[in-house]
Structure 1
Amino acid sequence: MRALRIIDTDDGPRGRITEMDQAELTAGEVVIAARYSSLNYKDALAITGAGKIARKRPLNAGIDVAGVVRSSEDGRFHPGDDVLVTGWQLSETRDGGLADLVRVPADCVTALPPGLTLWEAMALGTAGFTAGLAISRLRDNFQTPEAGPILVTGASGGVGMFAIQMLAQAGFSPVAVTRRVEAQGKALRELGANDVIAPDDLDLAGKPLGKELYGGAIDALGGQVLADMLGQIVQFGNVAAIGLAAGPKLETTVMPFILRGVSLLGINSVECLAPRRDAVWSELAGALKPAQLEHIAHETIGMNDVHAVCDAIVAGEHSGRTVVDVTR
């Protein structure tokens, strides 16, 4: 079988397309014949060696996969079933989806919900699932459109683009936050953003609280940007933290939390448990399915093109989503 495998080289971990035996795959009860995967920032870090994502090596790359069950030792799944896997330590401690076959524990497998094709599941992938999970958590904590606009940081990335369109479709007013206001502003408004601003526009100049301007946020940055936006969320608003592109440290005060009742909601899409995972995927196949999914997932490539796209992702020269046809 063919796989894009992370191996140790003289230059550090790198992804290489190679042949391997099915018996070498990490353990699990379900074997999936992969049809599609997708490329995320973590994939790019792992494959280029820019980040040490694969904690054991050799290990197959790809944190997402959609395909057809080849064999199953678990009664929940049967040969021929269409399924998907996102997260669950794929490409970290388990062999991932950029391979002909993937073997995983049954608890990691999600049945493909009606309303999605295998390609659409990977056009969404971890990015779409993370955006959907963040919106689910906001709603669980009583976020409503009436509370005010929702900030979306990292707006030109996969999660951000999906979040903007999903929020707009759900009746919210998204405000895109990006350093590429001029370059991406028109496209983000076409996805549903009511406004497009730069991260610097949120700067509170060291003050713990500012005006209550935003109903909530989906934040991919962390760091100072997150600290500043917390001070501008309305009473009882929510911020869903999905990433740390601007840094892992959060230097703030408790004032937004105790004076305005703001909630900071952590989003862990990697190990989200089955009941919520199934519910989110059902929504992604229904009301939250992005109307412009094929526009956001603007290209489908073969395995031999993965390295070039990963280089572009690491260089900050890539936007939207790239699906990988594993059979090509």
Structure 2
Amino acid sequence: MSFRALLTEKAEDGTVSSAVQTLEDSRLPEGDVTVDIEWAGLNYKDGLCLLGQGGLVRAYPHIAGIDFAGTVRESDDFRYRVGDPVVLTGWRVGETHWGGFAERARVKGDWLVPLPANLTTRDAMVIGTAGLTAMLAINRLEWAGLTPASGQVLVTGATGGVGSIAVALLRRLGYQIAALSGRPQHADMLRSLGAGEIVDRTEFLAQPDKPLESARYAAAIDCVGGEVLGKLLRQIAYGGSVASLGNAAGIKLDTNVLPFLLRGVNLLGIDSVMQPFDARMAAWSRLTGLFDLAAYAENVEEVGLAALPDKAEQILRGEVKGRVVVDPKR
């Protein structure tokens, strides 16, 4: 048996390139469940993997794709039978283990979850790692005390996958939302998803820095890190929290202790990669009731495997809006 895949290889001179190839099933890595992939998603990490950046891929040749959904083809795991629809996100699949940019994958059963009820495999990838991460962030903020009555919530990197879904979910939950973005041309998109205020990133960063700034936001979901995260911490109201889940703007954090000591601000780290099964299922369950797939549809782009190298460059440049879903048969 064989399958199509986007195989990423590294030449002796260090150049990394990807091309669609036909591979034998015998080349699939170890695992106890084989899945016929119907849809995958494109994420920021996938851009890094496809372009050989960030040190995420340790061995070549490689198949990227950190999330996918499909149907069980073979299984040695009692929890999954042939024909079962399943979803995979995280567990460093697509980084250290061959991932979803292929028609087939072999993985550990521990890394899978059953496809949530009322979702198609395409629906699951419109949501994907981005939606799961956004839901985990909201759950954590609410655990820390956030309610719609608390005040305005800022979402940074709001036009990307995680940010845009976070805006849509917060709206369904009744929150007031400010959306920070460096792409003013997408302001209408953000308003349609539920943002009541659009914050220009350049103007946000140009404001004079102080150890503490005016308390503007009850909480924030930060998808970018770096300078933006350092500044927004100083603008969180007393007892508020920031859910930190991305580093597209850098991994360094320039801040001071005053937001924590004088306002009791909480900085909450959100990891979607190693989340245990029960937490994943709880997030997926809540997503299926909250996320309006029809309202989000115009922010979804479908591509085939061959288009992914170009899309990888675009997502790293911050030029991808919403979600990109991948049909491995194209």
Structures share a fold, TM > 0.5? Answer: yes
Find the aligned partners of 1:125 and 1:80 in 2 and give their Cα distance: 21
Amino acid at match of 2:277: A
Residue equivalent to 1:117: 120
- Contact 1:170–1:288 (CA under 8 A) maintained in structure 2: no
Find the aligned partners of 1:131 and 1:254 in 2 and give their Cα distance: 27
> RMSD over aligned Cα, in angstroms?
1.6
Find the aligned partners of 1:265 and 1:316 in 2 and give their Cα distance: 24
Q: May I ask how many residue pairs the two structures share in their alignment?
A: 326
- 2:290 aligned with 1:287: yes
SS in 2 for 1:286: helix
SS in 2 for 1:217: strand
User: Quick check: 32-41 or 307-316, which moved more?
Assistant: 307-316
Residue equivalent to 1:271: 274
Determine which of 208, 228, 246 is the counterpart of 1:225.
228
Q: How does 1:40-51 map to 2 (within 5 A)?
A: 40-51=43-54
Q: How does 1:102-181 map to 2 (within 5 A)?
A: 102-181=105-184
Find the aligned partners of 1:14 and 1:130 in 2 and give their Cα distance: 29
Amino acid at match of 2:161: G
Find the aligned partners of 1:89 and 1:316 in 2 and give their Cα distance: 23
SS in 1 for 2:285: helix
Residue equivalent to 1:197: 199
SS in 1 for 2:46: helix
- Contact 1:37–1:66 (CA under 8 A) maintained in structure 2: yes
Find the aligned partners of 2:296 and 2:80 in 1 and give their Cα distance: 28
Find the aligned partners of 1:304 and 1:221 in 2 and give their Cα distance: 28
Q: How does 1:257-268 map to 2 (within 5 A)?
A: 257-268=260-271
Determine which of 15, 18, 28 is the counterpart of 2:18.
15
Determine which of 45, 53, 57 is the counterpart of 1:54.
57
Find the aligned partners of 2:114 and 2:305 in 1 and give their Cα distance: 25
Find the aligned partners of 2:319 and 2:204 in 1 and give their Cα distance: 25
Could you report, residue by residue, the CA deviation over 1:209-240 in whole angstroms, capped at 9, with x for unpaired residues? Answer: 11211010000121221111111111111100
Amino acid at match of 2:233: L
Could you report, residue by residue, the CA deviation over 1:126-169 in whole angstroms, capped at 9, with x for unpaired residues? Answer: 11111111111111111111111111100111111111111111
SS in 2 for 1:300: strand
User: What is the TM-score of this pair, normalised by structure 2?
Assistant: 0.94
Aligned-pair distance for 1:92?
A: 1.0
Residue equivalent to 2:302: 300
List gaps (5 residues or longer) in structure 1.
none
Find the aligned partners of 1:288 and 1:235 in 2 and give their Cα distance: 30
Amino acid at match of 2:155: V
List gaps (5 residues or longer) in structure 2.
none
Q: How does 1:81-92 map to 2 (within 5 A)?
A: 81-92=84-95
Find the aligned partners of 2:85 and 2:280 in 1 and give their Cα distance: 16
Determine which of 28, 41, 62 is the counterpart of 1:25.
28
Could you report, residue by residue, the CA deviation over 1:107-140 in whole angstroms, capped at 9, with x for unpaired residues? Answer: 1001111121100101111111111111111111
Aligned-pair distance for 1:84?
A: 0.6
- Contact 1:132–1:288 (CA under 8 A) maintained in structure 2: no
- Contact 2:6–2:306 (CA under 8 A) maintained in structure 1: no
Aligned-pair distance for 1:53?
A: 2.9
- Contact 2:123–2:293 (CA under 8 A) maintained in structure 1: no
Residue equivalent to 2:247: 244
- Contact 1:241–1:264 (CA under 8 A) maintained in structure 2: yes
Amino acid at match of 1:4: L
Residue equivalent to 2:312: 310
Amino acid at match of 1:222: G
Aligned-pair distance for 1:28?
A: 1.4
- Contact 2:19–2:306 (CA under 8 A) maintained in structure 1: no
Aligned-pair distance for 1:208?
A: 1.5
Residue equivalent to 1:186: 188
Aligned-pair distance for 1:41?
A: 1.8
Query: 4+ residue runs of structure 1 moved beyond 6 angstroms?
Result: none
Find the aligned partners of 1:128 and 1:14 in 2 and give their Cα distance: 29
Determine which of 319, 322, 325 is the counterpart of 2:324.
322
Aligned-pair distance for 1:262?
A: 1.0
Aligned-pair distance for 1:201?
A: 4.1
